Structure 1
Amino acid sequence: MYRHLLVPTDGSALSRRAVVHAIAWARRFGSRITFFHAEHEAPVPFDGAGVVINPHALQEAQDRLDAAAHDSLAEADALAYEAGLQADSVVTITNKPWEGIIRCAERLGCDLIVMASHGRSGAAALLLGSETQKVLTHSRIPVLVHR
C-alpha cells in the first residue's frame, strides 16, 4: 500500500476533513504522513513611482502569513498526535501552490497525495482555478481527492 502520504492543508474546514481522512488512512496502513502548506509571498506595497510605501508592511504581512501557515500545520500535527502518529510538516513559499505540492511530494518520495477539493464547477472553477485540479493534471504521483 502507500508508504508516505503528503497532505496539503490550508487550515480550512474542508482541508481539515482531508487531514482527518489521511490520518485514518495512515493509521490503518502504517504510512508516514507529511503535512504541507503553500504560503503565498506577501504582496509588496508600492506607490505609483515603484517605491515601497512602508518597508515594515512587507515584513508584517509575511509574519502574518507565516503565523497562519504554522497554525494550520500545528492543528494537523495535533490531530495526528491524538491519533498516535508522528507527522512531519513542510512550509513552502510559492504563488503556485500546485507546483509546490508536486515538488514537495517528489522531493520527499511520497507515493500518495491526499488533498481536499472545494468541488467548484462551471464559471467558479474556471475563474478561481483549482489547485487540486492542477495537481491532478500535472502530478505523476497518485492523488486521492477528499470532498
Structure 2
Amino acid sequence: MYGNILLSTDGSDVARNGVKHGIGLAKALNAKVTVITITEPMPVYYGNGYASGWTPSREEFDHFDAAGKERARRVLDEARAMAEQIGIPAELLHVPNAHPATAIIETAKSRGCDLIVMGSHGRRGLTKLFLGSQTSEVLALQL
C-alpha cells in the first residue's frame, strides 16, 4: 500500500501524535520512514518608506540558527526514540531556514514518499486565517 512515509513534526503535542500514528502505520505496512522537522528563517523587517527596519547582527543570526538546530535535534531525538520503541528504523532530517509546507512537499517528492503524515491543530475561522496551517497548505499545494 504505502512503502515510503514522510512524518512531519514541529515537536508540538499534535505533531507528536501524528508521528506516533505514522510510525505505527509504517510498522504495520513494513514501510520506510523519514521524519522531518523544519526551522523557518529569522524574520527580518527592513522597513518601508520613511520607517527604518530592523536588521539583526551576525551574532543574532548565529544565535537564532544555533537555537533552531538545538530545537530540531531535540524534536528528532524524540522521534527516533518513538521509532526505536516500536522497533523500526527512521531516517531523520532537519531542513533549516525554509518554509515548512514547501520543504515538506519538496522532501516528499525528492525522496519518493507516497504518504505524508502530519498533525493539524484544527484551527477554524479567523484563527486559521491569521495563524495559518501548514497541513492545509501542504494539502492545497499537493492538489
With structure 1 as the length reference, what TM-score do the two structures score? 0.87
Alpha-carbon distance change, 58 to 27 in structure 1, aligned in 2, over 3 angstroms: same
2:101 match? 98
Deviations 1:81-139 (A, max 9, x none): 11111000111124421010000000000000000000000000111111100111111
Contact 1:36 / 1:101 at 8 angstroms: preserved in 2?
yes
Q: Is 2:108 the counterpart of 1:73? A: no
Unaligned runs of 5+ in 1: 141-147
List structure 1 segments (4+ residues) > 3 angstroms apart after TM superposition. Answer: 43-46, 48-54
- CA drift of 1:52 comes to 5.0
Distance 1:93 1:53 in 2: 18
Query: Cα RMSD (Å) of the superposition?
Result: 2.0
1:112 aligns with 2:115: yes
Identical aligned residues as a percent:
34
The equivalences for 1:37-56 within 5 A come to 37-43=37-43, 54-56=57-59
